[in-house]
Structure 1
């Protein structure tokens, strides 16, 4: 089959820059990268753009386009959330269920199974954020719904573990045992530590048991202290723990972001998440979560008492924030939105970079870092014009 080609003034492949280069793709897969002057004679040039980069991967997306996953989990709701975030360069995401009832959790897993069967563009699995969290670090999660993980809860997760490219769950050691973490990790579930007041030693021990991530670094977790490093210290010091980061200027101070990026032990990295709620892509001024009003004002989403409740930011804005406010090189900000989240969930054999054989997911931008278009599986799903 003849390859299609998009030529870019600047092309970032996930590792390095290329100038006047093209990506060639067919059947939803990248065939090759090549200098624009050396394209095959039969290549179909479909666009010429300023900047082309791997599509963004968001592992924590509660909603978008006016839809909150908790409000009515269905394949249609998942499709609407994915479409809303595609407008901002996100080509793969995990719709995220915030702590809810067992019935809603089961319905969400069924909705995810149907979305996978429907091949919803951008959908690569689910993130269950709770309900097995710490009351002491509940954040905006409903304390009445937080509870320990019982055998039926574990059995439910394990029953769906192989139905998605990725099934991710955020848990706290206070309400999940080490053995439960190991059972989930052994079944292919990505386990993340979050909403926890546990100490450094316990967090590291749970990492040894199979946890491989920390959810929204700094937020809703025991802080880095000079005698007790906490979950923050474990995330930065343990080279096997990846960590999601909300880069909106409200959840984490700029100085703290910069310090964390310098301090993080590898090979695991810090990566971007939006923690976006339903207003993304809309002019909504608020919404409800578990019956409580959430207010949208000045880039923040808060409960009545001022507690942050998710974020009002998209992935492209997060990339810009890291580049323009933190001073991160653009290539590193782009890696934090694509390559590093792909590494965190172990899918670099499919996505996260522009390489032969990977899914043809990419974003095109203007030189000013404004949106141009979003491509998922070789199909243009959004065009700014």
Structure 2
């Protein structure tokens, strides 16, 4: 048993402090406001928040989720050091055979609770808005192909991004929803009306809203405004200062209050040095923390962690701290249907992140065990 005291705890619906939390085994046993009768770890004036939950991440620490189990564990470890205790492994477009192989490689890590599942970002995307996906490998979502990848290892694939304007797109969304797989709309040229139809069919996530999508126009607002309007949809936002202007991030956070999720969309360079990397089969150059395709210069994911996304959202974009914390904890956990992660509550996993006054991560606990000593900048 460990009793942790902090200046404040960020709960799902409030902030309390000073406050304490008791950990027994890998779970939170109890918590409350005020000073604890006994204390094993005193965090002083620090803020204690739940472990972060990332719905969209391709790698980190120099490793990609597409490069096998050992690389995947390296990426997981890199993000955990920065507070992300629950991750979906996002895979970029590749051949169907390669994607099935990658899903099978990652499935044991899902079964062992190292990953929360696999996110297929492709190959059923728009060639107009392909971003850092090989346009030669993009294709229409054939029902047998969709079922084959999702069923390769039952339960491994948790989310699939689809451009619903492709032939069979709406049917693919319905098939995914019927199987309990989260259907996301992104990398798409969908119109306003079609985006609404996609939500009616079962879309519940907007993949990195605004990015790699039809732009808002005053006569054809496209998918962005449609997805912001629908309360059923959780919208992903990349808070790195590159994908979205701070004003756009702030506006989306207000308009999608309680249902926006900050995601890293990180590739291997997150938590690693600038240099040359690969994203799927494409070459990427990371310079000054910005990842771009070579050649072409298209943005190729980010090189940030959720810790950096939190800091940017709060200190640059002006998002309220509790709202920003919810966007990397309880909101993405809700998308995954998980009540055992992303919140400080009795019965939830003891996944804890210690933040200092500037919202920098100082310590991380996962499943009741501290990962490292205090982090030094």
Alignment of 1:7-46 (within 5 A): 7-35=5-33, 37-39=35-37, 45-46=40-41
Contact 1:14-1:334 within 8 A present in 2 as well? no
Contact 2:341-2:349 within 8 A present in 1 as well? yes
Q: Find the partner of 2:100 among 106, 111, 119.
A: 106
Q: Residues 382 and 229 from structure 1, CA distance in 2 versus in 1: closer, same or farther, beyond 3 angstroms? A: farther
Shift of 1:160: 5.1
Give the 3-state SS of the residue equivalent to 1:382 in structure 2.
Answer: coil
Shift of 1:110: 1.0
Q: Residues 113 and 288 from structure 1, CA distance in 2 versus in 1: closer, same or farther, beyond 3 angstroms? A: closer
2:329 maps to 1:329: no
What stretches of structure 1 of length at least 5 have no aligned partner? none
Give the 3-state SS of the residue equivalent to 2:232 in structure 1.
Answer: coil
2:263 maps to 1:273: yes
Shift of 1:312: 1.4
Q: Residues 12 and 287 from structure 1, CA distance in 2 versus in 1: closer, same or farther, beyond 3 angstroms? A: same
Give the 3-state SS of the residue equivalent to 2:248 in structure 1.
Answer: helix
Partner of residue 212, structure 2: 220
Shift of 1:290: 4.2
Q: Find the partner of 1:55 among 51, 65, 80.
A: 51
1:166-196 deviation per Cα after TM superposition (whole angstroms, max 9, x unaligned): 7111111133432221121111100100000
Give, in whole Å, the separation in 1 of the partners of 2:322 and 2:103. 35
Alignment of 1:1-385 (within 5 A): 3-35=1-33, 37-39=35-37, 45-49=40-44, 50-70=46-66, 72=67, 74-120=68-114, 123-159=115-151, 162-164=154-156, 167-175=158-166, 176-264=168-256, 269-303=259-293, 304-347=295-338, 349-383=339-373, 384=375
Give the 3-state SS of the residue equivalent to 1:136 in structure 2.
Answer: coil
Give, in whole Å, the separation in 2 of the partners of 1:101 and 1:47. 51
1:8-37 deviation per Cα after TM superposition (whole angstroms, max 9, x unaligned): 112112321111211112121111112453
Give the 3-state SS of the residue equivalent to 2:273 in structure 1.
Answer: coil
Contact 1:30-1:356 within 8 A present in 2 as well? yes
TM-score w.r.t. structure 1 length? 0.91
Give, in whole Å, the separation in 2 of the partners of 1:67 and 1:203. 34
Contact 1:60-1:94 within 8 A present in 2 as well? yes
What stretches of structure 2 of length at least 5 have no aligned partner? none
Give the 3-state SS of the residue equivalent to 1:346 in structure 2.
Answer: coil
Give the 3-state SS of the residue equivalent to 2:371 in structure 1.
Answer: strand
TM-score w.r.t. structure 2 length? 0.93
Give the 3-state SS of the residue equivalent to 1:126 in structure 2.
Answer: strand
Give, in whole Å, the separation in 2 of the partners of 1:207 and 1:148. 19
Shift of 1:293: 2.3
Give, in whole Å, the separation in 2 of the partners of 1:106 and 1:291. 16
Give, in whole Å, the separation in 1 of the partners of 2:354 and 2:252. 29
Give, in whole Å, the separation in 1 of the partners of 2:236 and 2:340. 20
Give the 3-state SS of the residue equivalent to 1:37 in structure 2.
Answer: coil
Give, in whole Å, the separation in 2 of the partners of 1:161 and 1:346. 19
Give the 3-state SS of the residue equivalent to 2:7 in structure 1.
Answer: strand
1:267-294 deviation per Cα after TM superposition (whole angstroms, max 9, x unaligned): x611100100101122241212344321
Shift of 1:163: 2.3
Shift of 1:378: 1.1
Shift of 1:262: 2.8
